[in-house]
Every structure is written in structure tokens, then in C-alpha cells.
């Protein structure tokens, strides 16, 4: 667990250093400041309101305890073990087995389960999934992902501006080799590196949530078995709601793709997650 926290810190530090490097390459910070202002505002709005947007996107409805007594019992029990307030419970009307957590802090948290996951998993397996999602809440992963998205967004914005500058002659005419190299770095290389670092942070937080869930329950096997079931069932039952841009929220990537999609996945390989959990001892 300590290693995953350290990895997140290192990746965020590298991402910040990359932003400072881009600022230095620009020679002046006015353009960087303007880009930063708009991206920060966008991410602040996203931080405070994205949970409502996501719940609407997946047509999630708040569940009543009388309709989902077993689910409420599990969520309440795990929240107490984790030492956080009871989050709101939502149901997503999809047969694909999956779950996600959202909300900017533990006091404003939501745990959402699809109809498919409730019907597929045993009590212990579902408890493992809920513990994973509550770990995301307790570890404030939404805040961390927002910070990473803000920095990566600024770098990507500068990359877009560099490409537009090239199209309209900003790197034309008397350009030399240094200008060409700067263009390639600003327009292509740094945004790609920033994206890969952001994905690395997301994967690190998934591993951390898995480990935290196992420690909350003092048992890694329920979650390991759940992940195996979700991985196999997810291949057969596609997610027909939402957007791939929200895939990082889910415990298992609900959208499938080719090799490039796998390379740029926000989730670690499921086989590695399961193997890590099974190797844990208490």
C-alpha cells in the first residue's frame, strides 16, 4: 500500500515538473497562465458537479433501503469498518455487472451498483466490491484524479495551441531545427507523456483501492473472486450507457476495445489485480 502511495506521489511530481518544463520552453508564462486558468476553472466545476453529471449519464437512481436491504446493509457495514459516513446508494439500470464511486469527499459520496452486479455476485464478493469503492472515497481519489487531470489538461491545451500555431505559420518561414524540435516536443511528445502519467496515476489508485479494500475486510479473496467474475461477465454483456471517458470511475472497465485501448486503459490488467490480491496475507 505504501508503495502505491509513493508511486502516486512520484507520478504527480513528474507531471508537475513536466508542466514547469513546458512553461520554460514557452519562454514566457502568459500563455501558460491563460491556459492554466481556463483548465483549472473547468476542473473545479467538474470536481463539484461531475458526480451529478455521471449519475445522470448512467440513469442512476437513488435506491431505497426497503427495496435494497441487503445492499444497504453491506454498504453501511463497510462504511463503518472504513470509518467514513454512510454514502448514498444508487442503482444503474444496466445488466453489465459493475460499480463505481463518485462525490468530491466522504461527506458527499455516492456508491453506484449496476443491476447486473447485484444479481451476479455472492454476499462476500459484493462486499469486496463495495469495500473497493469505499476505499476510493476514503483515499480521496477523485481529488487526486482531478489534480492530475488539471495538470495534464494544461499540457494538452498547450499542445493543441502549438499545433494550431504550426498550421497558421507560427513555425513556418525562417524556422530552424531548434524550432522544429520545440514544436515536436510541445505539440506531440509532452501531451503524450502527460497522458501516460495520468493513466499511471489512475492504475496506481486502482491497485491501492484493491489493497485498501482487502485490509478493511481483512480478507482479499471476496474481491479477487468478484473481479474474476466481473472480468468474464463484462466480455459478454456490453455497457450501453455512458461514455468511455468515464471508464476510470468503474471497478472494471465497462468498455472494450483493441490493443491501443488496452494500452491506454485507466485500469491495470485484471489478471495482475487478482494475483496481487491472492498474494496478500493477514
Which residues are designated catalytic? 133
Grid cell, residue 150, equals 488539471
Q: Which helix (H) or strand (E) holds 88?
A: strand 88-92
11-16: long-range contacts at Cβ-Cβ below 8 A with a sequence spacing of 24 or more? 11/148, 11/197, 11/200, 11/201, 11/204, 12/144, 12/147, 12/148, 12/151, 12/201, 14/197, 15/148, 15/151, 15/152, 15/194, 15/197, 15/198, 15/201, 16/151
DSSP state of 107: G
Residue-wise over 54-86: b if at least 16 C-beta within 10 A, else e? bbeebebeebeeeebeebbebbeebbeebebeb
Amino acid at each position: 500500500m505504501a508503495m502505491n502511495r509513493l508511486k502516486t506521489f512520484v507520478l504527480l511530481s513528474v507531471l508537475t515538473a513536466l508542466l514547469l518544463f513546458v512553461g520554460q520552453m514557452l519562454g514566457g508564462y502568459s500563455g501558460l497562465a491563460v491556459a492554466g486558468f481556463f483548465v483549472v476553472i473547468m476542473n473545479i466545476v467538474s470536481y463539484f458537479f461531475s458526480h451529478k453529471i455521471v449519475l445522470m449519464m448512467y440513469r442512476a437512481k437513488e435506491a431505497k433501503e426497503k427495496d435494497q436491504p441487503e445492499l444497504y446493509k453491506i454498504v453501511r457495514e463497510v462504511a463503518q469498518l472504513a470509518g467514513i459516513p454512510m454514502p448514498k446508494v444508487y442503482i444503474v439500470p444496466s445488466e453489465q455487472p459493475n460499480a463505481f464511486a463518485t462525490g468530491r469527499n466522504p461527506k458527499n459520496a455516492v456508491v453506484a451498483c449496476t443491476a447486473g452486479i447485484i444479481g451476479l455476485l455472492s454476499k462476500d464478493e459484493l462486499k469486496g466490491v463495495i469495500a473497493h469503492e469505499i476505499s476510493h472515497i476514503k483515499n480521496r481519489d477523485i481529488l487526486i484524479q482531478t489534480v492530475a487531470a488539471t495538470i495534464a489538461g494544461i499540457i494538452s491545451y498547450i499542445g493543441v495551441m502549438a499545433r494550431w500555431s504550426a498550421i497558421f505559420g507560427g513555425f513556418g518561414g525562417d524556422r530552424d531545427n531548434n524550432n522544429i524540435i520545440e514544436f515536436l516536443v510541445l505539440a506531440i511528445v509532452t501531451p503524450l507523456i502527460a497522458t501516460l502519467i495520468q493513466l499511471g496515476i489512475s492504475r496506481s489508485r486502482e491497485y491501492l483501492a484493491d489493497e485498501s479494500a482487502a485490509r478493511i475486510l481483512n480478507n482479499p479473496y471476496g474481491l479477487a473472486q468478484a473481479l474474476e467474475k466481473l472480468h468474464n461477465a463484462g466480455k459478454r454483456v456490453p455497457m450501453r450507457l455512458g461514455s468511455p471517458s468515464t471508464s476510470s470511475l468503474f471497478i472494471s472497465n465497462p468498455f472494450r476495445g483493441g490493443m491501443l485501448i488496452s494500452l491506454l486503459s485507466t485500469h491495470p490488467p485484471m489478471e495482475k489485480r487478482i494475483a496481487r490480491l491472492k498474494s496478500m496475507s493477514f
